Structure 1
Amino acid sequence: MSEEREQIRKAQAGDSHALAILLQSHYSMVVRYLIKVTMEPHIAEDIAQDTMMKAMEKIKLYNGQSSFSSWLMTIATRLYIDMLRRKKREKLWLDQEAALRKIKWHMARQGEDWPEVLDAVHSLPYEYRIPIILKHYYGYAYDEIARMMSIPAGTVKSRVFHGLKTLRKELNADEE
């Protein structure tokens, strides 16, 4: 049995010293990989540390079907992709919030009203927000909205229904 396999076996049995040796022997490889992927050494270090933590938590799930280094690289890759997705969602949210502030300022400058309900509508996912606005602010029929969005009319009805249900909950929660 190879030395690495023996370390893995011991680590899976709860030997923290064996786990520390195993992770330490792969740490620099994971960091170098992540530096190449992220192009940002401090982010690479953070993800590498998260990778080692995840490996510590999940060591018993390692099944030996791939090399231990491949298992670690898979963990690191998934953590990096999750971070990118989170950053993308955060940027989208920040962009939407900035756009909302700009619209409110523009409306106020022109002396137009911005009802509280529009804030609540803005918090809905676009899948619900678009049909609700088209139906209740502009008076389009479900069939027209369906054509505009290239989805079935039944889906439009469902999205309006569920979106309004969510809005009612949110607006009633604000009143309490």
Structure 2
Amino acid sequence: MTGASRPHPDHRRSDRAVAATDGPARPGRPPAGAGPGRNADQIDHQADAWLVGKAQLGSIEAYEVLIRRHRDRIHRIALRMLGNRDDAEDITQDVVIQVWTALAGFAGDSMFTTWLYRIVVNRCITHLKRRRHDTPLEDPDLARSPGADAQAEARDRLRAALAALAGLPADQRAPIVLIDIEQLSYDEAASILGVSEPTVRGRLSRGRRQLAETMREWT
């Protein structure tokens, strides 16, 4: 099976088609063992692995379930990396298609999430290199906050922090997004970025210092 012969999943079908069904190349039932007492992360990774296996056999429904499990984080990472909601949505859509076409080559040597987020970050870094000017990061909740006028200082502080993040080099911004914002481990962030853990720690430390310096007037 090759990427060229695989039909593209309809990534806009967020809630329509994903009831579990029996039969070949369909999502079927989730892996057993999701009862009380099991480690939630382990169960999630097992479920991902199971869905990946089904999707590699050609199940678009399984792939839609898989993407629905991770789409919010894909978009959050892209938004924090790029600072623009439209760009983040474009990257999210591109990642959905790229992962589908590349999934046959995923051998399971790492967690699916590590492989997935590496694709997201790499797409974002490529986009940043092509973009002439960074735009200030948007707060995804700011526009929807009721009584925003009464929260001017908090709003300005948040915008300053997001603008400071946007001003960091991509190699420092990525560890902050993955570790400080998305709460991933140093080890997983290193795997996603394709560098050693000490390198991640060094980049994170430099990025934090730069953010602290930029935000000093707000402390």
- Band the TM-score falls in, shorter-chain normalisation: 0.3 to 0.5
User: TM-score scaled to structure 2, two decimals?
Assistant: 0.38
The answer to which structure, 1 or 2, has the higher relative contact order (CA under 8 A, 6+ apart) is 2
